[in-house]
A and B are shown apart, each in its own frame.
Chain A
Amino acid sequence: MVSLPRWLARPLFYLGLAVYAFLLVLPLLNLFAASFKSDGELFAPGFWPANPTLEPYQEALQKYPLARYLLNSLVVALGTTLGVLLLSATLGYALARIPFTGQGLLFGFVVAMLLIPGEVTFLPLYLLVQQLGWLNSYTALIVPFMASPLGIFLLRQFIKSLPQDLFDAARIDGAGHLRMLWHVALPLAAPALGALAALTFLGSWNMYLWPLVTINRSEMMTAQIAVAQVQNVEVTSWNVVAATAILVLFPTLVAFLLAQRFFVRGIALGGLKG
């Protein structure tokens, strides 16, 4: 293959990048454009609205308690993330730094749990949560997902890789395990914790099947299920559906833009490197 001269290769590379990026975000741009179209303009030709209007947003916010749905999702995602961070850090630390009988066995157990595809056990999990009386509550959406084998595994690996000298020094200063976890391990594990937090938050925010079956009281619905419900009701008002979807997209989009660099670096650290 003949290689292109440099003055031509550079602009062509950027052109390729721009076209590819445009095609990838096109469905989102299209949704964004629709969310500013009036009912009359929705099915008219033209990608962008000729007369942008906020009516779809007003209608969506008036007819549906979207703030409540977003709050529900936020509570669930934050609760799950905090729980996962806490339990992964404590169990991960114990597996990495406290020698006790059966430690190898327990680590083997965590690794085995990694293999279990959780999506498929939702029927027995549903019965369990029903028996516990947790249907239609935040508890149902948070507690079953707080002990994450992946999180425990990642933090155990990370804490294990920290230099022993630091822990020896803390031990000489009289620190117990709880203080070593809090003052030595956790500050150093910040990149791993950050990546785990981002993954957990997105995973929880994205839950669909589980809230669909465990929540049927309207005020407890999460944002994802609310989008499905709005789409189900507003069969022809795609502008209102689009406005709802954009409002639901907004928080994760902002979080992603803020955390992006952290996220990419953390994943490389997480052991998934090639």
Chain B
Amino acid sequence: MSVERRETPWIRAKPQTRFRGGEGLEATLLVVPGVALMLLFIVWPTLNAFWLSFHRENLLGTSREWVGLANYAEMFRDPAFWRSVGATFVFAAIVAPVQLVLGLVAALMVARPFPGVNLFRTLFFLTTAVPTAVAAVAWGWFLHPVGGTLNRALEAIGLSRQPWLTSPELALPALAVVTAWAGVGFTAILLTAGLQQIPEELYEAARIDGAGSWTQFWRITLPLLSPTLFLVALLILLSSLTAFGQIHLLTRGGPMESTTVWIYRVYQDAFFNFRFYYASAQAVALFLVLLLLAALQFRFFGRRVHYG
């Protein structure tokens, strides 16, 4: 951060004074509160998560004892844990493509201006404003076995009603669709911003060369949008791996634990099965998976952003 202007050399000296007098006090005032809060509420809990996972409560639940890696050893042998891991990845594997495609279709339609574009942007981005609990309730009613509009519509066209949220086979995919729907607005916003970065001249040149809209999509839009798409896909994946509210509200992890995903297992073990430290070990394992994905996103993100 150098001052370029040669005609005022006395300014140049200023940035080199480090924490002197009033400037030091001001800097301290600006830096310390934020750093202190980050240390207390991000760094400390993260370190403590690992520490806790090496412990176990005694039989009375009055104190804890060091057990080393015992929680992790148990975790690797625990079929319930592996079922929750499986459910989590099935869930994410449905949410990510569904949300990405729904969001991309919306973004493609409203990225360029046309008469009435603002109305459709509002409608397509609307789910951004819908809290998880409201989205869950809306779908709970929409998929209701008796009064639900979806089952009524199915019946009207001669198909049979489905127990969307109460069958062990359908509940997880149904929740994944609810989750993807709730995220469509935000995905569409990000992809719209990405599409607007593609220079209009490229499309004009392609049209002059006689390229149709199909060719333009595959040869211009998709390649130039792919970095954004990749980033958004990772964001969706990260958030779907910790989806909780809609599951808690609609299925409570059931039926037959079919929707007990990783984070839900952690919540249940910690607050209902009185196995706080075992839950901590499972949380740490999830933490490491998410960290890996975040690092991947960051490596990618880092190449595209100036830190200067």
Contacts and interface: CB of A to CB of B under 8 A. Distances in A.
Interface of A: 1, 3, 13-14, 16-17, 20-21, 24-28, 30-31, 34, 42-43, 45, 47, 87-88, 90-91, 93-94, 97-101, 106-107, 109-111, 113-125, 127-128, 143-147, 149, 152, 157, 160, 164-165, 168, 171-172, 176-178, 181, 202, 205-206, 208-209, 212-213, 223-225, 227-228, 231, 238, 241-242, 244-246, 248-249, 252-253, 255-257, 260, 263-264, 267-268, 271-274
Nearest to B290: A117
Interface residues of B, number: 112
Interface stretch (B3-11, B85-93, B162-170): B3-11
Interface of B: 1, 3-5, 8, 11, 14-16, 18-19, 22-23, 26-27, 29-31, 33-35, 37-38, 40-46, 48-49, 52, 102, 105-106, 109, 114, 116, 120-135, 137-142, 144, 146-147, 149, 152, 181, 184, 189-190, 192-198, 212-214, 224-225, 227-228, 231, 238, 242, 244-245, 248-249, 263, 266-267, 270-271, 276, 279-280, 283-284, 286-287, 290-291, 294-295, 298, 305-308
Given A31-B137, A87-B33, A149-B38, A177 B23 contact: yes
26 contacts: A20-B109, A30-B142, A42-B147, A47-B149, A90-B33, A91-B30, A115-B298, A120-B283, A120-B287, A122-B283, A123-B280, A123-B283, A124-B44, A124-B48, A143-B41, A147-B34, A171-B11, A172-B11, A248-B131, A252-B131, A256-B129, A257-B122, A260-B122, A264-B192, A268-B197, A273-B228
A127 B137 contact: no
B11 A99 contact: no
A121 B27 contact: no
A74 B255 CA distance: 34
Contact of B133 (A107, A113, A248): A248
B131 A274 contact: no
Contacts, number: 307
A1 B184 CA distance: 29
A24 B248 contact: no
Contacts of A93: 30
Contacts of A45: 152
Contacts of A98: 23, 26-27, 30
